[in-house]
Every structure is written in C-alpha cells, then in structure tokens.
Structure 1
Amino acid sequence: MHILVMGCNHQTTPIELRERFTFADDRLALARQHLRQMKSILECVIVSTCNRMELYVVCDQLHTGEYYSKTFLEEWFRIPREDFQEYLYCKQDQGAVNHMLRVVAGLDSLVIGETQILGQIKRFFLDAQEQGTTGTLFNTLFRQAIQFGKRVHTETSIGKNPVSVSYAAVELAKKIFTSLANKKILLLGAGKMSELTAKHFADAEASQIFVINRTFERAKKMAGIFQGEARAWADLATTLREVDIVVSSTGASELVVTKEEFAPILAKRRESLFLIDIAVPRDIDPKLHQLDNVFLYNIDDLQEIVAKNLKLRQQEASRIEEWITTEVGKYFDWLNTLGVIPLIDSLRQKALGAQEEVMQRIERKLPDLTEQERRIIRKQMKSLINQFLRDPIVRVKELAAQPDREQIFTLFAHLFALEEEGLEGSKEEPAQFAKSRLSSSTSI
C-alpha cells in the first residue's frame, strides 16, 4: 500500500490553470466517489482551495495510483493531461506525509504560518470520512496531521507575527492603543490594500470605520462590506477631527494630506492622531510629523516590522520542520506495525501466479491467437483479479488497526493459503513474518 499526493498550488501552477482545477462545493462528494472508484485507488481525500488543489490517495501501486489520479483529473475537468501534467507535483509515501504536515502547519501557504488551511483540511477530511472514501490509513494520518497543526499554532508564534503591510498597519495601531474597541478609523482610498486593511480593522473590532475616496461610489461599496460609513472627499477635514487613526493608500501621484492645508485643523485636536501612510508614492506630508499631537508612520516603518516578523516566522519554520520529521517517523512506525502490506503482496503474487498459469493453458489450447488477442485476454483476466482482490484488501487493511490483528493476520494467511506463497518457509506465524518483512523494507 502507498500514500500519494498529487496537486498544484500557487508555487507551481499559473492562475489560469488553477482556475480550471476548481471543484465546486456541491460536486465534491461526487468527485470523491469518482476518484475512489478509479483503479488502484483505495482511499481518497480531495482538497480544493483558492490557492491549491490536491488529491490525497492510498493506492496499491505507485505507478498505477499516479496514472489513474491523472486520469481522474483528465476526465473530471475534461483537460488533456498533456496540458497540465508538467504543472503537477506528485509526492509519495514519506514525501507525501511530509507535504501534508507542512500544509497543515502553514509552511506551504502563500503567507507562511497562516492558519486558515488547517480548518480547511479538517473539513475536507471529515467530509470524506463521512462519505466513506477514507479508511484506516487516512483516518489515522489526517487525525494525526490535524492534531499536529493545532500544536504548531498553539506552541509556536509562527502565525502571530504579521507579514503583510496591511496587517502590520493594524498590529501597529493595536500596539499603540492596546485595544481598538472604542477607536474610530479613517481609510483614505478604496483599493485592494485599503480593503485588506479594513478587514483587519474589522476583525480587531474597531468601533467605527470611515472610508473616503475620490470616487464616492467606490468608497460606499467598500464601507458597505465592513458596516462602515462612506464620506465624500470634501468631508476629509471634518473627518480628521473625529478619528483616532488614519490609514492612507490612495494611489495618488502627489500628496493628498499636506501640512499647509491640514496643520491648522489638526492643531485644534486635543487627542493624538496616528497617521499610517502605506501608499507609494506617499499620500501624507512627512512634515506633519513635526506637530506635537501627530504621529506619522510610513511604509518603510511597516516594512521593518514585516521583515522582522518574516525572519521570526522563518526561524519558527525551521523548528517546525524538525517536528515534521519526527511526526513522519511516528506515522510510518505505526503503519509498519500493521503487518498488512506483506500479506497483501503475497495475496497479489499468488493471484498473478494463478493468472499466468491459466494464460499459459489458454495459449497451449489456442495456439493460433494473435498477439493482440493475447493482450486483450491478459488485460481482462488482470481486471477480474483486481476486482476480486479489492474488497479483501480493503477489509484486511481496515482490520489491521484492531487489537487482535495478530490473529486476524494469521486467519487471513490461512484462508488464502499464503503460507504456501510469500510466507513459505517461515516457522513464524504469518503475522510475525509479515512484520519482519516490513521492518526490513524502506517503502510501503
């Protein structure tokens, strides 16, 4: 049995192709069922987010598992494999488990250390488990991975240090005021950066968010998203008297808040005003910092915070990578105790041997068969054997986690007379012999 992960993400695949590899939520169950029914696939979980699409599968053979996973993608999305296979990554066994743990820890994300992916992986797994497309191997692996992800975000600070300018602006405001619960925020500009900043302020429960933009309709639209209030550009001076924090990102080519125009207005304030200018070129006159009650920060100040925090996250990531190595070892130690893989290999070899004997008898009795006819017969016989073996393999794999697995393995071996095949010559019980074979093997 082997574990395989195949997929694409923001690092490997252009967005034009990632868009085509999107599973609609209402069709994910059908997609999982389709994948599970593919040849060689014994368990499966599908992960589909805005930045990644991944198939996690348990397969009986690596090359067939990889082939039929690509076949699934080809059939489901109706995209020829030659158009996408160069963009896919495919990780096997230890590499696949290592990759999964890096994903849940946030090390493989667009923003290192983000926590959203952990919840998404948990949801995709639980849906697959409820549907019945997972079994013993994945039920154990995904539970271990989810617990590991929780540990990472609880015991490290990898997700606690902002690494985006918009988030750093809000974190700076929180450090200045401790709490934003009773603070009023003004966002100058209604572009993407301002929208991200507004989201972070809303998450921090700022009491009120005002949005001012040259185009009032854009300001109104963005304010509506965050239950804020849009104001006209002409109301800028009035609004500056009311708010505690201003974050500016207009995209203007020149200063929009100058000392000459606004110093007289700001001088009348009793409370301090904090200005955070994240625009390039700058929106706010640097001379305003000269006023006693005005504190001005620009994007370079925030970049220093981001760079420092990114370094801290990278340091934490190195520590987490060591944890991952340990976790991978723990999982395969558990897997190797199952003793099921040599049993299954022996069963498969016995079946293939029987197939070959029957094929030889057919060829003796029908010597005039063409090579094409022989290939067709061999293919159909192999398909029949695979169908017959599928359920016994799935059942013994599921039973391998039971406390009485030793007796189960022994019974399984005797039922299929495996002691006459792969277990021949061993004086040990079939289960113990299977374990000894596993311990000397480097792959599953």
Structure 2
Amino acid sequence: MSVLVVGLSHHTAPIEVLERMALGPLGAIDLAARVGRAEGISECLVLATCNRVEVVVEAESFHGPLTAIGEELSRSTALGLEELTEHLYVHYEDRAVSHVFSLACGLDSMAVGESQVLGQLRDALSVAQHAGHVGPQLNPLFQHALRVGKRAHSETAIDAVAASLVGLGLERARTVLPDLSAARAVVLGAGSMSGLAAATLSRAGVGELVVVNRTAERAARLADAHGGRAAAWGDLAHVLSQADLVVSCTGAVGHVLDVPAVACARAAVDTPLVVIDLALPRDVAPQVGGLPGVHVWGLSEIQAGRRDTVADAVEGSAVAQVRDLVTAEVAAYLTDRRAQRVAPTVAALRARAHEVVDLEYARLLQRLPELDEASRSEVRRTVQRVVDKLLHTPTVRVKELQSGETSGDYAHALRELFDLDPHEVAAVTSPPRIRRRVRP
C-alpha cells in the first residue's frame, strides 16, 4: 500500500479554473466517498480550500487509483477530464508524504508560512474520521503532519514570513488608503477566513470595524471578539455607503456584490472604496472594479503581488529551517512506516516458532510421561529460550534493513526462508476495509 496525492492548486491552475473546481463541504464529503469506493483504494481524505483541491489516498497501486481519482474529480466539478489533467499534480509514496508535511507547515501556501492551512487540515481529517474514510495508514500520516506543522510555527521564525492573504490584501489597500487608522472597514462573512480578516484589520488599527453576515449571532460574536460591531445583512447597502475598505469571504455561491448593488450604495459617495475579495468562487463580480472610485483585488491579483512582496523572504533562513524540519520528519516517518511493514511478518515468524515449540513439547511428553512437573517446565523454558535466541538476530536485522535506505523486500525474503503462509501474514498486515457511513 502507498500514499498517493492528486490535486490542483494556485501553483498549477489559474484562479478561473480553481473557481470552477470549488467544492463545498458536502461536495468534498461526496467526492471522498466516491473515491474511497474505487478499486485499489482503501482510505481517502479530501482537502478543499479556496486555492486548492487535493485527494489523498492509500492505494494498492498507482495507475488504477490515479485514473479513478481523475475521473471522480472531473465528475465533481465543471471541468472535463482532458482540461482538468492539464492542471493536476501527482505525488506518490515518499514525495506524497513530503508534500503533506510541507503543506501542513505552510510551505505550499499562496502566502508562504501561513498557519490557516493547519486548521483546514485538522478539519479535513476530522471530517474523514467521522465519515470512516481514513484508517491505520492515513490517520497517523495526517496526525504526524499536524504535529510537524505545529513544530514549524513554534520552533522556527516562519511566522515572520507568513503574511496572510488578508495581510497581502492590506498591502494593496494601502496604495489607495495609506492611513488605515482613519478607514472604516467591513468584513463580509463570519467563517474562519473572515475571522482571520477581522483579526488582521483589528491589529492594523482600522478606525472602525463592521462585520456583516447572514447569521446575526455569528456576526455579533466575531465583531465582539475584535472590538467591532455587527450589522444586519439587510443593512448591507447602508454599510457599503459608509465603507472605505471591504474584505469579502462569505463562501456563498454566486456574487454577493454585483454592479447594481455597489453602484446604488456608492451613488452619493465620492471617496474611494477598496474591495478585497478572498472568496472562491468570487464574492464580487469582476465588473465592480470598473465603477468610478472602486478598486477590487481578488485572489489572482494577490497571488501576483505575493511574488513581489515575499520573494526574498521565501529564500530566507526561516523557510530553510522549516524545510530542514520537514526533511527530518519525513525521514523519521518513512523509517517508522517501513519498520511497521515488516512487523506482521516478524509476528508471524514468532507465532510459527511457538507452534513448533508447542508441537515438539507435546511429543516429548508423550515419549517421557514420567517427567515431573518441574522438569517439564524447565524443558519448556529451555526450548523456548533456544528458539528465541535463534530468532533474535534475524528479526532484529530484518527490521534494521527494512527501515533503512537500502532497497529490497526483506519481509518477503523472511517469509520465503521460513516458509511462512502468506495468507497468515496478510491477515495481520491488511486491516479490514473501512465501513462507510452512508449519509442521507
């Protein structure tokens, strides 16, 4: 069994393609369920964020599962398989593990080093666990990845590099609104990205912070947490008429702000309005940026700006430290995983040895029935010690070889040398297929 990652992100696809690939929570669950039922796939996790969709599976082979994932991704989105394939990246085995660990550390993010991806990974793992889509292979992989991500942020200076998407957007906003302390800022939405936006705006010292969300209670909680005030969704037009800066990340399907709505709200206003659209699909119709005095920057513009603002930092010592950490953790994980692969064979070998000892001990008792209980116990212990000593060196050595960098299937060699029943080993090695929970 091997780890296989198939996906597309801001590295491989333009924002327009990612927008068409956007999956809601239910869409991601449905995709994971369908991929998990494919031949040769035993476990599956889907990570769907604003700038990536990834499918991670435990696969028996490469080509069959890869084809199945591609077909299911195409089926879940508005992209044909041929068009989708142009933007996909594929990682397998060691490279797949390295990719997952790098992702957890924020090295693969649009804003290098950002920590939001840790929460996204944690949520994706929780959903997969609840649905029964992950088991003894992917569950420890992602648990380990989350630990690596936490280490990266606590043991290195990666947070100094980790300008969030909101922070990068604010850098753009300052070209129009140089004094944010006098700006009236509005956050549309109350999800995790909106929380990050509100926190960033609060730290930037904006003059006023207003949170607008369809659920009033969530808007109030977010506003209270960052010294702002909540406004009802029905008051959006009035709020827009007074705003200088809007950060929108609602996760809605369709445009939240279109040309008529913004034009009407700003009809009597002659001050500039900056709109940062962090949603995918877009919250803001692209044509809104053509209105007089309105500046709209979405993920594509922020992505382009990132190359200018953090290019030097990406090559800095903090990122290098995290890369070294990832390299060491990947090596440790792979060593442990290879050692675990030989463990069932070693267990089968010791079980076979115990069977032989039991059989020969029974024969001895038949031939020497006059042995007293003390003698029988001593004979049994002696035979067992001899067998254990004979097995000690080969079992220790096979674990060392299997966990090292040398190639070879040493577990198979052990099975051949000792004529172990492969079906008995398989019973120990292969976990039962995870039972899927069928959602209504």
- Relative to the length of structure 1, the TM-score reads 0.53
| Number of the residue aligned with 1:23 | 23
| Number of the residue aligned with 1:331 | 333
| Number of the residue aligned with 2:5 | 5
| Number of the residue aligned with 1:420 | none
| Number of the residue aligned with 2:52 | 52
CA 234–62 in structure 1, closer or farther in 2 if over 3 Å, else same = closer
CA 199–327 in structure 1, closer or farther in 2 if over 3 Å, else same = same
Q: Mind listing any 5+ residue stretches in structure 1 that lack a counterpart?
A: 172-182, 237-247, 252-282, 284-305, 341-399, 416-426
State whether residues 38 and 68 of structure 1, in contact with CA within 8 Å, keep that contact through their aligned partners in structure 2: yes
| Number of the residue aligned with 2:383 | none
Please give the alpha-carbon distance, in whole angstroms, between the structure 2 residues aligned to 1:138 and 1:7. Answer: 17
| Number of the residue aligned with 1:186 | 182
- Report whether the alignment pairs 1:441 with 2:407: yes
The alignment covers a number of residue pairs equal to 288
| Number of the residue aligned with 2:83 | 83
CA 159–232 in structure 1, closer or farther in 2 if over 3 Å, else same = farther
CA RMSD across the alignment: 4.7
Aligned-pair CA distance for 1:17 = 2.2
- The one-letter code of the counterpart of 1:186 is A
- The one-letter code of the counterpart of 1:120 is Q
SS in 1 for 2:137: helix
**Can you list the C-alpha shifts for 1:367-399, whole angstroms capped at 9, x where unaligned?**
xxxxxxxxxxxxxxxxxxxxxxxxxxxxxxxxx
Q: Mind listing any 5+ residue stretches in structure 2 that lack a counterpart?
A: 189-193, 211-236, 249-264, 276-292, 294-306, 356-389, 411-440
CA 56–234 in structure 1, closer or farther in 2 if over 3 Å, else same = closer
Aligned-pair CA distance for 1:136 = 1.5
| Number of the residue aligned with 2:66 | 66
SS in 1 for 2:152: helix
Flag the structure with larger Rg.
Answer: 1
Aligned-pair CA distance for 1:77 = 3.2
SS in 2 for 1:83: helix
CA 148–132 in structure 1, closer or farther in 2 if over 3 Å, else same = same
**Can you list the C-alpha shifts for 1:118-165, whole angstroms capped at 9, x where unaligned?**
110111012112222112221211111100101111112222356455
Please give the alpha-carbon distance, in whole angstroms, between the structure 2 residues aligned to 1:84 and 1:25. Answer: 21
Within a 5 Å distance, the mapping from 1:195-344 to structure 2 comes to 199=198, 202-204=201-203, 206=205, 208-209=207-208, 218-220=240-242, 311-315=312-316, 316-339=318-341
Please give the alpha-carbon distance, in whole angstroms, between the structure 2 residues aligned to 1:29 and 1:334. Answer: 30
**Can you list the C-alpha shifts for 1:172-224, whole angstroms capped at 9, x where unaligned?**
xxxxxxxxxxx9931289999xx99984554328484289xxx9863436679
State whether residues 216 and 232 of structure 1, in contact with CA within 8 Å, keep that contact through their aligned partners in structure 2: no
- The one-letter code of the counterpart of 2:347 is Q
Aligned-pair CA distance for 1:6 = 0.5
State whether residues 32 and 46 of structure 1, in contact with CA within 8 Å, keep that contact through their aligned partners in structure 2: yes
State whether residues 32 and 44 of structure 1, in contact with CA within 8 Å, keep that contact through their aligned partners in structure 2: yes
Aligned-pair CA distance for 1:99 = 0.9
**Can you list the C-alpha shifts for 1:314-347, whole angstroms capped at 9, x where unaligned?**
311122111111111111101111235xxxxxxx
CA 210–234 in structure 1, closer or farther in 2 if over 3 Å, else same = farther
**Can you list the C-alpha shifts for 1:237-262, whole angstroms capped at 9, x where unaligned?**
xxxxxxxxxxx9879xxxxxxxxxxx
- Report whether the alignment pairs 1:106 with 2:128: no
Please give the alpha-carbon distance, in whole angstroms, between the structure 1 residues aligned to 2:144 and 2:321. Answer: 18
CA 311–220 in structure 1, closer or farther in 2 if over 3 Å, else same = same
CA 157–170 in structure 1, closer or farther in 2 if over 3 Å, else same = farther
